[in-house]
Amino acid sequence: MSQAGKTKFQIDLRRHLREHYVNENLTHLICEIAEASKYIIHSISTGELGVAGTSNLYGEQQLALDVLADRILRKRLDHSRVVANMMSEEMDEIIPVSPDCDGKYSVAFDPLDGSSLVDVNLAVGTIVSIFEGCDLLQRGRKQVAAVYILYGPRTTLVYSVGKGVHEFGMNMLREYTLLQENITLEPQGNLYSPGGQRNLYTPGVEAYVQKLEDRGVKLRYSGGFVPDINQVLLKGQGIFFYPHLQNQPQGKLRLLFELSPMAFLIEQAGGAASDGRRPILDLQPEQIHERSPVFIGCKKDVALAEEFIRTLENQEEGPTEKKAKN
Ligand code: F6P
Ligand code: MN
């Protein structure tokens, strides 16, 4: 290994944040999230897979691990002294932490995304969205940072504070050290990751998929949002979509907990994220648990999806109109 290579692998997360002039409180917050993930991965690797006996807001059965991951993260953020408000995909309301918003952050998180994949031993993840101050119901473009942690064969953490996208790997000492800096996406890719039932696709989305397939684009879908996005990001190409469906005009994925943070990261890598008509980061959330269709990945692939939807779907058939603020 070259000398430069050796130095690169010794940069840990805290040092990387400091070297990118991230302020003390935000550095502390991101490092606390990284700390929490060490307990979450431990629970995933060693925990019981029993059902918690509760169902979440969507009537889905919660595995005990969802509840555990939620508690681990909430406790860590609660004690961090830099959080004003937080909300979790597993909870039905915002959890106030400190009435003093000055210098503090508000955090939305999906503690264990794809948790139904744990029992079949597929990759899952934690997704975190961070805003300055107290307000959590903001457009994604207002985020100051986004982070995800992927619990796969290896545990990796990807973050952005608006200065590029960087990947870290958990080493034997459970420290996150730098793997890749400034990850970027090609303008167009040759893999696609399509969510939702194909026979429920709307005309624009169906024609778009056929166009991709005619181009020889390969299907790569794991069923976990974090590993599927990670694949696009680290392969540097491709598109993930979970579109509006004939019986689900808002698709499946949640704007605040899943889409905004991933859109922030993908845009930072030079890609795009759209609901089929507008950038995800421009959507003004009105409710905590709001969902949105999503097309996210290489810029040209996202633009092509928008073009098919614009051309083949009228307003009523397309994603429900939502206010996009400038
Ligand atoms: O949180 C929702 C989720 O589990 C994502 O991780 C994933 O992208 C999606 O649902 C998969 O949905 P489906 O099971 O409909 O393919
Ligand atoms: Mn989820």
How many CB atoms sit inside 10 A of residue 125's CB? 30
State the distance from the centre of ligand 1 to the C-alpha of 262, rounded, in angstroms.
14
66 and 23, same structural domain? yes
Q: Which ligand has the minimum distance to the alpha carbon of residue 223?
A: 1
239 and 169, same structural domain? no
Number of domains in the chain: 2
Q: Report CA-CA distances (Å) from 50 to 116, 141, 280.
A: 12, 38, 35
Final residue belonging to a domain, choices 152, 180, 208: 180
Residue closest via CA to ligand 1's atom 14 equals 223
State the distance from the centre of ligand 2 to the C-alpha of 175, rounded, in angstroms.
25
Does a structural domain hold residue 220?
yes
DSSP 183: -
Please, what is the Cα angle at 233 between 10 and 105, to 5 degrees?
70
pLDDT tens figures, 165-175: 999 999 999 99
What percent of the chain is modeled with pLDDT above 70?
Answer: 88
208 and 138, same structural domain? no
Classify 201 as helix, strand or coil.
Answer: strand
Name the pLDDT band for 15 (thresholds 50, 70, 90): very high
What percent of the chain is modeled with pLDDT above 90?
Answer: 83
Ligand 1 atom with minimal separation from the 125 CA: 6
Q: What is the model's pLDDT at position 60?
A: 59
How many CB atoms sit inside 10 A of residue 93's CB? 9
d(CA 166, CA 159): 6
d(CA 29, CA 46): 26
220 and 138, same structural domain? no
Residue 157 φ/ψ, nearest 5 degrees: -125, 130
Question: What's the domain range around 79?
Answer: 3-180
State the distance from the centre of ligand 1 to the C-alpha of 223, rounded, in angstroms.
5
d(CA 294, CA 274): 6
248 and 108, same structural domain? no
203 and 132, same structural domain? no
Q: What is the CATH number of the domain that holds 87?
A: 3.30.540.10
Ligand 1 atom with minimal separation from the 240 CA: 8
Least confident segment among 58-72, 230-244, 260-274, 284-298: 58-72
- The answer on pLDDT for 254 being more than 80 is yes
State the distance from the centre of ligand 1 to the C-alpha of 149, rounded, in angstroms.
16
197 and 79, same structural domain? no
Q: Which ligand has the minimum distance to the alpha carbon of residue 296?
A: 1
Residue closest via CA to ligand 1's atom 3 equals 114
Ligand 1 atom with minimal separation from the 258 CA: 1
Residue 296 near residue 283, CB atoms below 8 Å:
no
Residue closest via CA to ligand 1's atom 15 equals 196
Burial class (CB within 10 angstroms; exposed 0-12, middle 13-18, buried 19+) of 245:
buried
Does a structural domain hold residue 186?
no
Q: What is the model's pLDDT at position 64?
A: 79
d(CA 152, CA 11): 22
Does a structural domain hold residue 294?
yes
Final residue belonging to a domain, choices 129, 160, 180: 180
**Does the CB atom of residue 301 touch ligand 1 within 6 A?**
no
Least confident segment among 44-48, 161-165, 194-198, 291-295: 44-48
Classify 318 as helix, strand or coil.
Answer: coil
Does a structural domain hold residue 319?
yes
Whose tokens are 């307003």? That residue is 315
165 and 16, same structural domain? yes
Does a structural domain hold residue 185?
no
Mean pLDDT of the chain: 91
**Does the CB atom of residue 194 touch ligand 1 within 6 A?**
no
248 and 206, same structural domain? yes
Identify each DSSP E strand in 114-171 by its residue range. 124-132, 145-151, 155-160, 166-170
Q: What is the CATH number of the domain that holds 222?
A: 3.40.190.80
Q: What is the model's pLDDT at position 3?
A: 46
Does a structural domain hold residue 316?
yes
128 and 87, same structural domain? yes
- Helix 299-312 to helix 203-214 angle (10° resolution) is 140
Q: What average pLDDT score do residues 71-87 get? A: 97
Final residue belonging to a domain, choices 151, 180, 209: 180
State the distance from the centre of ligand 2 to the C-alpha of 183, rounded, in angstroms.
24
136 and 198, same structural domain? no
State the distance from the centre of ligand 2 to the C-alpha of 227, rounded, in angstroms.
12
List, as one string, the DSSP characters of 266-309.
HHHTT-EEESSSSBGGGB---STT-B--EEEESHHHHHHHHHHH
Q: How many alpha carbons lie under 13 Å from residue 203 in its C-beta half-sphere?
A: 8
197 and 260, same structural domain? yes
Ligand 1 atom with minimal separation from the 223 CA: 11
**Does the CB atom of residue 195 touch ligand 1 within 6 A?**
yes
